[in-house]
Structure 1
Amino acid sequence: MSTYRNLGLFLALSALWGSAFVAIKAGLSAFPPVLFAALRYDVAGVVMLGYAVLRANSWRPRGRDEWATVAVGAVLLIAAYHAFLFVGEQGTTSAAAAVIVSLSPVLTTVFARGLLPEERLSAVGVAGIALGLVGVVAVAQPDPATLLARETLPQLLVFAAALSFALGSVVTTYIDARVEIETMEAWSMLGGAGLMHVVSLGLGESFAAITWSSTALWSLAYLSVGASAVGFLIYFDLLERLGPVEINLVSYVAPLFAAVTGFLFLEEVVDGWTAAGFCCIFAGFVLIKRRALAREIPRLQAALSGSEK
């Protein structure tokens, strides 16, 4: 029964995070992009802080290292990642953005190689990284003569979002403050939201530019409560049950949900290059994590056998 529960939660998380790209795309017609991202995490941060107060042993960070972890989370995992993503998604499809973001686990390995000496990378791992980058090129299809053209720049911004998230994940691990994940996420969300409000003001965005409508309200509510608050609660639960290797696979199922929901609600069409790029990125992840995945297969087989009895 627990196996089916974990599978159900895994698919639910993939659906929430995959469809979030569609909600972002829909909401961008009503909100200035960075202000939209900031408002999302105003709400999500308050919800997550309430959860931390109820569940965490210490709902406030303590000591320099814990606050440093929160600061990294606020700057890289929340503010930089979402500012780049929301601005970039103005010029690309939901599915393409989700595919580029799915490179994050591959990029995490690159940064870990430099900051975490115990993270060794073999020749096969290097090939996996190269394959992942080929996937991004397939999605973006950059023209060297017009690298900053309207068609290419949005994909580069989404790639910058993936870089920010990957770097933030490694730096928080490097600091190793042992701060409770609920506390870290709550304060990072609130801090990141504050930073994005500052950036939004610097870009000249204003609340007067918001076009309030049913689409604006449902997209903001879905991203804040569904994709962020509920999504992260499911993530925490699965992280404890499945571990980091299996939970990374969410990054590769989410684009499928992004493609389906984008087609159903926004009439977006996934082209062959986007599909090919996704396959390259996933293959790169498998090469990099091949040993960890091999260790997981017997455990999964045993769990499935036990659930069938």
Structure 2
Amino acid sequence: MHTQAQPTTSGQTTLTLEIGLLLLLSLIWGSSFTLIKVAIPTIPPFTMVAARVTIAAILLIAIARAQGHTLPGRGPVWPAFFVQGLLQSALPFTLISWGELHIASGLAGVLNATPPMFVLAIAMMTGRGRQAISSRKIIGVALGLAGVAVTIGVDALSSLGTTAPLAQSAVLGASLCYALAPIWGQRFSGFPATVTAAGAMGCAAILMVPAALVLEQPRTLAPTSQAVVAVVGLAVVCTALAMVIYFRLIRTLGPLGTTSGSYLRAGFAVALGTAWLGERFTWSALAGMTLILAGVIAITIPRPARRRGLEP
């Protein structure tokens, strides 16, 4: 007598958890735009990023040790950590912070929502992961980008290429870094997420602290208390906590699925602006967020397995 196999929900439960973490990560990184706006008037970009990654590195190293992990000794992994720290934090954080000094936050949000498109283009050009690129994911990327444009407002695109082109290029450069970072980060799949995050942030701090000391002389600054609190929030929540989640998602959702959070990040930025900055929530914003959600679902939900016949 044969018994019929019972369906398991473990895979669905795991996917639900990962999508929940993607939502959390998007919310955290969506709030970073507000915190940067608070800090940037009195803490310049290099100093802000140096403080952000240094505090995060110290916290992550302490967490890793508390979990019983040790950072790798000398070896080829450390140059790889330096590249990860540069792509994921040092360079894009600086480019975005500087860019927001010169362009509207809405336009910056649209430009910074493009990493999935870069990931898709890289996969198609290099052949890496091309077999995982389906028409549904391509449609998902298009839906997400359209949703961002609708959410932020099409008017924000009217200044594209006409004002502060260098600042616009800087934010696009940050998006390219965010696309390359999860692809590069796949090589750390054998390390715990806290170890990878600690190594990458430690290397980012080594890169940024000398740059800040030379270029901005932070000892001469007089930041406001609100700016200091904003930088601490950026370091603890938007960097340390976010990086642990991020390196987990690289392993579970892959580069394209992880970068799809950039669409959600733009939507959360609008929602946070409505909640705390008194910005008006429009029907176009609701429509845009619906498109964003549809795009993320199309990118992250795996293709259903083909039904196989069961023995009677």
TM-score band by shorter chain is 0.7 to 0.9
Q: How far does the alpha carbon of each residue in 1:136-195 deviate from its partner, in whole angstroms, 9 at most, with x for none?
A: 896544555x4xx33x4333211110101212222333x567343322211211211222
Q: 1:219 aligns with which of 195, 215, 230?
A: 230
Q: 1:95 Cα deviation (Å)?
A: 4.8
Write the mapping of 1:290-309 to structure 2, written as runs, cut at 5 A: 292-295=301-304
Q: 2:79 aligns with which of 68, 74, 77?
A: 68
| 5+ residue gaps, structure 1 | 297-309
Relative to the length of structure 2, the TM-score reads: 0.72
Relative to the length of structure 1, the TM-score reads: 0.72
Which residue does 2:108 correspond to in 1? 97
2:98 is the alignment partner of 1:87: yes
Q: Superposition RMSD on alpha carbons, in Å?
A: 4.0
Write the mapping of 1:89-168 to structure 2, written as runs, cut at 5 A: 89-115=100-126, 117-120=128-131, 121=133, 139-142=156-159, 146=162, 149-150=163-164, 152-168=165-181
The one-letter amino acid of 1:161's match is A
Instruction: State how far apart, in whole Å, the 1-side matches of 2:281 and 2:175 are.
Output: 20
Distance 1:99 1:111, change over 3 A: same
Q: 1:226 Cα deviation (Å)?
A: 1.7
Q: How far does the alpha carbon of each residue in 1:20-72 deviate from its partner, in whole angstroms, 9 at most, with x for none?
A: 110011110110112111111110111011112233644225531x2232021
Q: 1:252 aligns with which of 244, 259, 263?
A: 263
Distance 1:267 1:135, change over 3 A: same
Q: 1:261 Cα deviation (Å)?
A: 2.4
Distance 1:284 1:185, change over 3 A: same
The one-letter amino acid of 1:160's match is G
Instruction: State how far apart, in whole Å, the 2-side matches of 1:127 and 1:234 are.
Output: 26
Q: 2:128 aligns to what SS in structure 1?
A: coil
Instruction: State how far apart, in whole Å, the 2-side matches of 1:199 and 1:276 are.
Output: 43
Q: 2:45 aligns with which of 8, 24, 33?
A: 33
Q: Contact conserved, 1:128 with 1:285, CA < 8 A, in 2?
A: yes
Q: 1:81 Cα deviation (Å)?
A: 1.2
Q: Contact conserved, 2:85 with 2:204, CA < 8 A, in 1?
A: yes
Count of residues in Structure 1 that have an aligned counterpart in Structure 2: 286
Instruction: State how far apart, in whole Å, the 2-side matches of 1:143 and 1:99 are.
Output: 10
Which residue does 1:305 correspond to in 2? none
Q: 1:293 Cα deviation (Å)?
A: 4.0
Q: Contact conserved, 1:115 with 1:170, CA < 8 A, in 2?
A: no
Distance 1:167 1:141, change over 3 A: farther
Instruction: State how far apart, in whole Å, the 1-side matches of 2:66 and 2:125 are.
Output: 37
Identity of aligned residues (%): 26
Distance 1:7 1:246, change over 3 A: same
Which residue does 1:44 correspond to in 2? 56
Q: Contact conserved, 1:21 with 1:97, CA < 8 A, in 2?
A: no
Which residue does 1:199 correspond to in 2? 211
The one-letter amino acid of 2:269's match is A
Q: 2:265 aligns to what SS in structure 1?
A: helix
Distance 1:8 1:274, change over 3 A: closer
Which of the two has higher C-alpha Rg? Answer: 2
Q: How far does the alpha carbon of each residue in 1:180-229 deviate from its partner, in whole angstroms, 9 at most, with x for none?
A: 33222112112112222333355x31214533222112101111112122
Which residue does 1:171 correspond to in 2? 184
Q: Contact conserved, 1:40 with 1:224, CA < 8 A, in 2?
A: yes
Q: 2:100 aligns to what SS in structure 1?
A: helix
Q: 1:59 aligns with which of 71, 75, 79?
A: 71
| 5+ residue gaps, structure 2 | 1-12, 306-312
Instruction: State how far apart, in whole Å, the 2-side matches of 1:126 and 1:9 are.
Output: 23
